[in-house]
Structure 1
Amino acid sequence: MADREIYVTKFDMDRLVELIEGLRLSPKANQEHLDLLEKELYRAVLVEPHDIPRDVVTMNSRVSITDTESGEQMVYTLVFPSKANIADNKLSIMAPLGMALLGYRKGDIVKWTVPSGVKKLRVDDIIYQPEAAGDYHL
């Protein structure tokens, strides 16, 4: 995760803060991941769902990304933990990569830390964004 400006809808912010608060009560929750997500959220520019730019990764967005080092291309849908299923390319917001993608825009380079170092991924496209499609309930 980097210091670049990110955008989060007020609707997503409310749901994510509620998620963090609920998970903080669980002894099994990874508190470090919760702290990272909270840090990302509180540096975000908050916007109304109907005002979010169409090229921003929001919750339930389907995005294509490329590992800038290996050239590997991936497509993920960013989801809440209860909907996560990596076999279906549904990436949890609580996964480090999910946290790293939230709020970034098409063309941005996203940095995130893995055990072997720092990975850089480029957001190639927002294939589906609920807000752009008028699906404000997702």
Structure 2
Amino acid sequence: MMERALYLTDYDYERLELLLDNMNRVPQNRREDLSQLEDDLATCHIVAPDEMPPNIVTLHSTVRYLDLDSNKVRVVTLVFPSNADLSTGRISIAVPLGAAILGHSEGDLVTWKTFDGAKTIRIEEVLYQPEATGDYYL
């Protein structure tokens, strides 16, 4: 997986820490993608919302990506588990794809482990990022 400097707003950092603490209380929630997210939080750069670079995938960002295996373009919005709805393209930060794209930017190749090996996508465009439009507390 490509190394990256993960940028989070202080608001999102606090909410992700709380989410991970709550999920870790249930043993069956322990997964590698959540462990990676925990590691990312331990080394992330915490910034004020107005300092977030506009091409970074943050919580509530809408992203267009290319699935390099199927050559299909998809659009997803990264949300908390309680707001996830695959039928509308809202993916949870607690699923492998969601955890993997957080902090990446346009043009990045993102790879994560699957049961069958690995999956790779390329982030084509951040269509909406709340911090870029002044929506700091979604």
Fold shared per TM-score above 0.5? yes
Post-superposition shift, 1:69?
3.3
Aligned to 2:77, what secondary structure does the other structure show? strand
Q: For structure 1, which runs of at least 5 residues remain unmatched after alignment?
A: none
- Are 1:75 and 2:75 an aligned pair? yes
1:135 is paired with a residue of what secondary structure? coil
Paired residues for 1:52-131 under 5 Å: 52-131=52-131
Provide the rounded CA distance (Å) in 1 between the counterparts of 2:19 and 2:8. Answer: 15
2:30 maps to a residue whose letter is: Q
Aligned match of 1:31: 30
Deviation string 1:70-113 (CA, Å, 9 cap, x unpaired) is 31111100000000011111000000000000000111111111
Aligned counterparts of 1:118 and 1:38: Cα–Cα separation in 2: 20
Query: How far did residue 40 of structure 1 move?
Result: 2.1
Q: Does the residue aligned with 2:105 lie in a helix, a strand or coil?
A: coil
Q: Take 1:31 and 1:2, find their aligned partners in 2: how far apart are those partners?
A: 23
> Quick one: percent identity of the two aligned structures?
40
Match of 1:22 in 2: 22
Deviation at 1:49, TM superposition (A): 1.0
CA contact (8 A) 1:8 1:102 kept: no
Give the SS at the match of 1:38.
Answer: helix
2:118 & 2:5 partners in 1: Cα distance?
A: 19
Q: Which has the higher helix share?
A: 2
SS of the equivalent of 1:110 reads strand
Q: RMSD between aligned alpha carbons? A: 1.4
Shift of 1:34: 3.1
TM, length-normalised to structure 2: 0.91
